[in-house]
Structure 1
Amino acid sequence: MRKNALGRSLTAAAVACTVSLAATAIPAWAQDANTVKIGVLTDMSGPYSAMGGQGSVVAAKMAVEDCLKNECKGMKIEILSADNQNKPDVGVTRAREWLDRDKVEAIADLTNSSVALAVQKLIKDKGGIAMYSGPATGALTTAECAPNGFHWMFDTYSQAAGAAAALTKLGNKSWYFVTVDYAFGHSLEKDASDVVKANGGTVVGSVRHPLNASDFSSFLLQAQASKAQVIGLADGGTDVVNAIKQARSFAVGGKDQRLVALLVFLSDVHALGLEAAQGLVYTDGFYWDYDEQTRAFSKRFESQFKNIKPTMVQAGVYSSVYQFLKARAAAKTSDWKVVAQKMREIPIADAVMRNASIRPDGRVIHDMYLYQVKTPAESKGPWDYLKLLSVIPAQQAFRPMDAACPLVKQ
């Protein structure tokens, strides 16, 4: 009797063990199709926190709210968030934990180009979906492209194609760059240089500064001494804000030179104030006062986030998360291959994007806009900072598909 009981006990244990092992072997996409986790990986406290940061988390939650009212009824959706600290090792470690341990299906924002490239390599190996609204490097849709990586809002080419092309055509032929010394800055300088040269201009030199620099005096004075007609700031976040402030104090970019910021966000203009920022020309992918839809979206965002208007990064997080959720609901599975295909099939239609679509290389193309910062006298109230100079159509705003991406047909 004891022998039979022992045998039954061992058999039960073996069955339980087999079930447990089978459960752990089930891939993440085969889990509950109505439960979805999305991670927002961003800069929470560093130089890019104002353009992304906690505002990106708010934008992602707004996308969840909207989808639950419509396409995602009955689904359980959870938003996780983390600070990548602008360090690739920190960012990729958290992304791996999310994918392996927390069964996160999609990662959004990914501000910082080095972090984004590290995560792109990770998802090529492990699966999942990444939607890049914060990083600018063009490598995400060229040599490092992935079938499950989507570059959503802007890149270094889109920023250069607008301002650099327009200013060079207006006769500003000689350029000198002040560039942040990592992948994003290098890419921004290269793309702007290529556009300048393609329009008959020349690059007379460049100088590089560390990320999150506090003193730009030596870099700006070198640029001023170059006698270039245009000093191009190939940086972003607090770096570009500090560089512009210090340029004004040193009278850099005065009568005989033009100071151009190649990557500016609404949060930067707000930090600078119109007195310091007036006259700056730059390319943006989203402005709160563009039309009725953008005004309604931005009013809602502002009510949930410190009375602050959204940047194009935060608006891009909303758009990308909403598109992912619509695709996820339509796919009725969390298999990333199926969802990624649905993301490409379903038209992008939301409060943020205009004339948007996803190319085979993962680049999301859409209209971009050339803006000029208003003078204090032109502004009619809080956050009334920009005047539209021109619309850059989606097909012209972004780099043509590159054969360096293996997803592009030869």
Structure 2
Amino acid sequence: MPFKSTILAAATSALLAATPALAEPYRLGVLTDMSGMNFDLAGQGSVVAAQMAVEDFGGKLLGEPVEVIVGDHQNKPDVGSTLARRWIDEQNVKAIVDVPTSSVAMAVQEITRNADVAFLVSTAGSSDLTGKACSPTTAQWTWDTYALANGTGRAITEEGGKKWYFVTVDYTFGHALERDTSEAVLAAGGEVVGTVRHPRETTDFSSYLLQAQSSGADVVALANSSGDTMTALKQAAEYGITASGQRIAGMLLFLSDVHAVGLETAQGLTLTTGFYWDLDDETRAWSKRFGERMNGKMPTMVHAGVYSSVMNYLKAAEAAGSVSGKAAIDKMRTMDINDFFARNARLREDGRMVHDMYLVQVKKPEESKGPWDYYKVIRTIPGDQAFRPLDKSECPLVKK
């Protein structure tokens, strides 16, 4: 090598050695459903909500930039697990956010537990996530099957709907929702007269609905979600189930579901939600900002929960001085949690974020003032009444 080239190469090597490597940004991974049955209730709206939280926080955590990345788990536990591992191992992801589908969330929770990464659950609803499967790095933020059962199930039973028949989606979430609702119905003096289970993304509910219709039940409970619930609601109307005197209980309904199915079909349904955009000035202000990014679409409780969970995680990690999942979640348990979404809120040792829930009724078409004006709030359910009491938790982290 010529003398000048040798000097230049040596100088370049010395300069590179003396220049500190640029720090990789901290990343939050929104692991959601971007193409399937949960797209409207979570999907792109969850991504936007997480981005809004990072921007409102200032875009940095512990002096380093924070980025939001996105993955589509396709509602498959193996796909979700693979993405979660890759993010943590290769992309400096310090928190995984949202995660529709309880079976996917269960799989991802094991990965985040072992990797000491925060897991901020907004869409998955099985109460087992903070029960027997609980993790020290998880915060289940928005809702769970116990809260829905305790709200909708108890309310309808106390109103006279004593005999229940379940049409249940056959996987982790559906089983948990049926179990928790059955317990609430029995506690309120009702009974379960039968159940039938169906695969996810069913297009023909005729046989299930006919069994429910002939069961003699007062209430036909749809223990499913999203596309399955909307299909079942439409077909129940076609079969004249409500016209015959039976009541339909949509155990999990989102604002986007009501929007898609229409007030003509959904009117009169009682449901439990963790958020409604038109609740007060605070919820309307945040929802307006969200809607401006989402072509006028109003947020579901999932979207509001994503924003709230990410914002409170960032505050906790900053205060803890650490991006360790356990350190951030432990710190969050000591903090006040109070924003447009989380009212009278706290994070418990089992990972359940306890906050007020709302029992609402879907408006009749003539009662609605326009698009997205769909709910009448019947009452607020205080968090301590909405969620499973800690002394009844199966979480091994809870001191007995």
Q: TM-score w.r.t. structure 1 length?
A: 0.90
Aligned to 1:146: 135
| 1:335 positional shift | 2.4
Aligned to 1:7: none
Aligned to 1:248: 237
| 1:118 positional shift | 0.4
- Decide which of 34, 37, 58 is 2:27's aligned counterpart: 37
Distance 1:338 1:362, change over 3 A: same
Q: Distance in 1 between matches of 2:63 and 2:110?
A: 33
- Decide which of 147, 151, 154 is 1:162's aligned counterpart: 151
**Secondary structure in 2 matching 1:82:** strand
Q: Distance in 2 between matches of 1:300 and 1:173?
A: 43
Aligned to 2:270: 281
Runs of 4+ off more than 6 Å: none
Q: Distance in 2 between matches of 1:123 and 1:53?
A: 21
| 1:253 positional shift | 2.5
Q: Distance in 2 between matches of 1:75 and 1:377?
A: 52
Q: Distance in 2 between matches of 1:345 and 1:66?
A: 22
Aligned to 1:60: 50
Checking the alignment, whether the CA contact within 8 Å between 1:48 and 1:111 is kept in structure 2 is yes
Q: Distance in 1 between matches of 2:321 and 2:25?
A: 10
Q: Describe how 1:2-13 pairs up with structure 2 within 5 A.
A: none
| CA deviation string 1:326-363 (max 9, x = no partner) | 11222232222322222222211222111111011000
Q: Distance in 2 between matches of 1:381 and 1:92?
A: 41
Q: Distance in 2 between matches of 1:396 and 1:403?
A: 14
Checking the alignment, whether the CA contact within 8 Å between 1:231 and 1:253 is kept in structure 2 is no
Letter in 1 for 2:268: G
| CA deviation string 1:352-378 (max 9, x = no partner) | 111111011000000000000000111
Q: TM-score w.r.t. structure 2 length?
A: 0.92
- The answer to which of 248-257 and 149-158 deviates more is 248-257
Aligned to 1:47: 37
**Secondary structure in 1 matching 2:364:** coil
| 1:48 positional shift | 1.0
- Decide which of 158, 163, 168 is 1:174's aligned counterpart: 163
Aligned to 1:126: 115
Aligned to 2:202: 213
- Decide which of 328, 334, 348 is 2:323's aligned counterpart: 334
Residue 88, structure 1, aligned to residue 92, structure 2:
no
Q: Describe how 1:330-369 pairs up with structure 2 within 5 A.
A: 330-369=319-358
Residue 406, structure 1, aligned to residue 396, structure 2:
yes
**Secondary structure in 2 matching 1:81:** strand
| CA deviation string 1:17-40 (max 9, x = no partner) | xxxxxx9xxxxxxx95x9421000
| 1:74 positional shift | 5.2
Letter in 1 for 2:67: E
| CA deviation string 1:72-118 (max 9, x = no partner) | 59541100111111100000110011111111000000110000000
Q: Distance in 1 between matches of 2:76 and 2:212?
A: 29
Uncovered stretches (5+) of structure 2, i.e. residues with no partner: 1-20
Aligned to 1:104: 93
Checking the alignment, whether the CA contact within 8 Å between 1:176 and 1:204 is kept in structure 2 is yes
Aligned to 1:11: none
Indicate the percent of aligned positions where both proteins have the same amino acid: 52
Letter in 2 for 1:407: L
Q: Distance in 2 between matches of 1:337 and 1:246?
A: 46
**Secondary structure in 2 matching 1:362:** coil
| CA deviation string 1:230-251 (max 9, x = no partner) | 0000000111011101111111
- Decide which of 188, 191, 196 is 1:199's aligned counterpart: 188
Q: Describe how 1:308-327 pairs up with structure 2 within 5 A.
A: 308-327=297-316
Q: Distance in 1 between matches of 2:368 and 2:62?
A: 42
Q: Distance in 2 between matches of 1:324 and 1:232?
A: 35
Residue 222, structure 1, aligned to residue 211, structure 2:
yes
Residue 375, structure 1, aligned to residue 364, structure 2:
yes
Residue 113, structure 1, aligned to residue 102, structure 2:
yes
Checking the alignment, whether the CA contact within 8 Å between 2:26 and 2:61 is kept in structure 1 is no
Uncovered stretches (5+) of structure 1, i.e. residues with no partner: 1-22, 24-30
| CA deviation string 1:287-342 (max 9, x = no partner) | 00001000001000000012100000111111101111111222232222322222
- Decide which of 183, 188, 194 is 2:177's aligned counterpart: 188
Checking the alignment, whether the CA contact within 8 Å between 1:55 and 1:314 is kept in structure 2 is yes
Q: Distance in 2 between matches of 1:353 and 1:235?
A: 25
| 1:403 positional shift | 4.5
Letter in 2 for 1:41: L
Q: Distance in 2 between matches of 1:59 and 1:244?
A: 29
Letter in 2 for 1:67: F
| 1:65 positional shift | 1.2
Residue 235, structure 1, aligned to residue 196, structure 2:
no
Q: Distance in 1 between matches of 2:339 and 2:324?
A: 24
Letter in 2 for 1:366: H
Letter in 2 for 1:64: V
Aligned to 1:6: none
**Secondary structure in 1 matching 2:93:** coil
| CA deviation string 1:32-75 (max 9, x = no partner) | 5x942100001111111111001100000010111118x95954
Q: Distance in 2 between matches of 1:159 and 1:228?
A: 20
